[in-house]
Each structure stands twice: as structure tokens, then as C-alpha cells.
Amino acid sequence: MSGLFSRLRPARPAPMAPPAARAPGTPPDLLEAERLAAALPVLSLDTARIAPRSGLGTHGRRQAGHGDSFWQYRPVLPGEPVTRIDWRQSARSERAFVRETEREAAQTVCLWCDPTPSMHWRSDPGLPRKSDRAALLALAAAAMALRAGERARVLGPAGATAATRQRLPVLAAALAALPAHATFPDTALSDTPRDSLVLLFGDFLDPVELWEHRLRTLIARPAHALLVQVLDPAELELPWQGRVRFEGLEGEPALLVPRAGDLRAAYADAIAAHRAALAGTAARFGARLLLHRTDHPPETALRTLHLALSGAPAIGGPGPQSPAGAGQRPA
């Protein structure tokens, strides 16, 4: 976030991380991601905005076309090739029937997790690092997509991984391999498949103008985006009191605040304004912004994400196209 506390954190040494903390470069918990995904209904991506432009079928809406899933038998139409007639079914009546299959088109879900230093932070040793929670949610989202028959791939500095429909461990390894100090992979956007869905997980504390540029690039592919903002509760509430020295995690100059508590109200207004601007920017490009606090369980975030991908309104918030998404209740 541009402004006073863009990427500044207290300089007080944090206690040792608990043994369960994920070490940098370690893949997110594969079993936990699968468990989270399995607890939800099979995902039916709302591709209504994607499919009509690309000519592909939509999941959850049966349409005739090329595919393997049987849909129905219908009477043969005048002028149709004889080769389309299903003779076994036609032999049971006096009419000729054609066997129709459902048009199938797996959507590609692209995943990106912010690997920058500001994500490898937590305000309390009892909380997960933002990077750990983001990676878990991304992998669980991939598990949901694969379970629904979609393809998934990871966006990184070297481009995107090959799209896959069944290799979740490969995606977990790709998420773990993202360089710790990498910036947003703008070059990888050129590898984003047309009409794909891009899920972005990060703290989104960069200037909103940067995300306006990135979303414009995505939409030009064309592609669709959903942003999951993962924040530590301290980044929303500024809980510190008294004299606090804040140090930048990404090269920002340190800042000594004599009475941190006096800034709490102004900071709350600043972070709310930033989130509102980000949500408005996302909405202008047909994207959606979701908020997840790391002191909330991952199940709530994934449930909200599942609803968003299914086209449902956000819990406590507006629909996908509303710029007021910043006011929704955090998952």
C-alpha cells in the first residue's frame, strides 16, 4: 500500500516460529489442501462470460457439442449425415435417433502467489505467515479446479507451468519454487491462456496503479481475474501502543513512531481507502476482490472463494461486478 505503512513492520524481534511453520521453499501441505477442497461441493465454474466469446461449452449448463459425456438422444434432422445415426437406439423404435454428447471444454485456472518479503511475515507466532496461508489457499483452489475436471497451472518469473488436469503435487512444487524475492511476473502474463481464469493471492499492498496496469494486461489477453487479499490482522488494525520503530521489509526506510496508538484511526481509514480503491479498480476490469485474515480459518476463505468461482455474491458483500467488494466481511 502506498503511504505511511506500505510495507513497514515493527522492529521488535518476533518469537521463534512454531515447529509446524512451513520453511521457505517447502511445498504447501498437499493433504490439507485436498482435505479443504474435498469438504466443498464439486466446483462448477461460472464461465458464462468466458464461453460465449470463445465458443466453448459451460460447465453446469449442458449444451450439445463435441465431448465424451452422453447427454440425450434426439430425432435425426433432415439433411444430417447417416453416419450420425445411432442404429442401436433407432432399432428400438420406428424413428432414427442421433446420440448427442455434451460439449465439454475444460477451463484453465492460472495461480499466482505473491512471493515478496512482505508476505513472509506474521504479527504473532501463533498465526501463519501470509505466504503460507496464500500458498495453501492457492493449492486448495487448484484441487477444487482439478476435481471439477478443469486444468490448472502456476504463473512464475520463468513463465507458466504446463497446464494439468490431475497432477496436484506438480502444482504444489511449482508454488514452493517461486523465488522468495521475485516481483510480479509481468512476462508470465503473455503465457496466460486466452479466456482463462487467473487467481491472484497476495497482500496487494502495492500502489493501486500497478494493479490497474496488470489487470488491464490480463483483460487484453483476454482473461478473467479474481484477487484474494491475504492480510495479517495487525495490518488491518494497527494494534501496537507506545514508541514503535517500523522497519521496511522491501527496502523502505525505517520509521520511528512515538505513539503508535494515536495513528490507529487514521491508519484504519487509510487501509480501508486502499482496499476500496483496489476493489474499484478490480471491478472496472470485471475482476473481484476477496479478503482473508490469517487469524481466520482457511475453510472460511475457501468457502467464500468457492462461492465466488461459482458466480454467487460474496458473503456479506455485493456481486462479482460491484466495486464495493472492499466492504465485505473478511473470510
User: At CB < 8 A and 24+ separation, what contacts does 68-75 make?
Assistant: 68/101, 68/104, 69/101, 69/102, 69/104, 70/99, 70/100, 70/101, 70/102, 71/100, 71/101, 71/102, 72/100, 73/97, 73/98, 73/99, 73/100, 74/98, 74/100
Kindly give, in sequence order, each residue whose CB lies less than 8 Å from that of residue 311, ignoring residues fewer than 6 positions away: 46, 48, 320
pLDDT at 158: 64
Cα separation values, 25 from 105, 183, 213, 232, Å:
34, 16, 29, 21
Partnered with residue 244 across adjacent β-strands are 257
Domains of the chain: 23-51+105-327 (3.40.50), 64-101 (no CATH)
Kindly give, in sequence order, each residue whose CB lies less than 8 Å from that of residue 24, ignoring residues fewer than 6 positions away: 120, 131, 180
Per-residue pLDDT of the chain (331 residues; tens, 9 = 90+): 334 444 556 654 443 344 355 555 567 789 999 999 999 999 988 754 433 344 433 444 444 444 444 557 778 777 667 887 888 888 888 888 887 654 445 688 999 999 888 899 999 999 999 999 999 999 999 999 999 888 899 988 766 666 565 689 989 998 988 887 767 767 667 678 888 899 999 999 999 999 999 999 888 888 889 999 999 999 999 999 899 888 777 777 888 888 889 989 999 999 999 999 999 999 999 999 999 999 999 999 999 999 999 876 543 333 333 333 444 567 7
Whole-prediction pTM: 0.75
Cα–Cα distance measured from residue 7 to residue 249, given in angstroms and rounded to the nearest whole number: 6
DSSP conformation letters of 36-92: HHHTSPPP----TTTHHHHT--BTTB--BSSSSSEEEEEEPPTT--GGGB-HHHHTT
Cα–Cα distance measured from residue 172 to residue 289, given in angstroms and rounded to the nearest whole number: 24
Cα–Cα distance measured from residue 170 to residue 168, given in angstroms and rounded to the nearest whole number: 5
Round to the nearest angstrom and report the end-to-end CA distance of the chain. Answer: 20
pLDDT at 317: 37
Cα–Cα distance measured from residue 150 to residue 199, given in angstroms and rounded to the nearest whole number: 14
pLDDT at 71: 54
Side-chain half-sphere of 164: how many Cα atoms within 13 Å? 16
For residues 178, 182, 183, 188, the Cα torsion angle rounded to the nearest 10 degrees is -50
C-alpha cell read off for 193: 491462456
Cα–Cα distance measured from residue 218 to residue 210, given in angstroms and rounded to the nearest whole number: 13
Cα–Cα distance measured from residue 125 to residue 133, given in angstroms and rounded to the nearest whole number: 14
pLDDT at 92: 87
Going by C-alpha positions, the residue among 230, 232, 172, 247 that lies closest to residue 22 is 172
Cα–Cα distance measured from residue 300 to residue 133, given in angstroms and rounded to the nearest whole number: 12
The residue written with cell numbers 488491464 in the block is 216
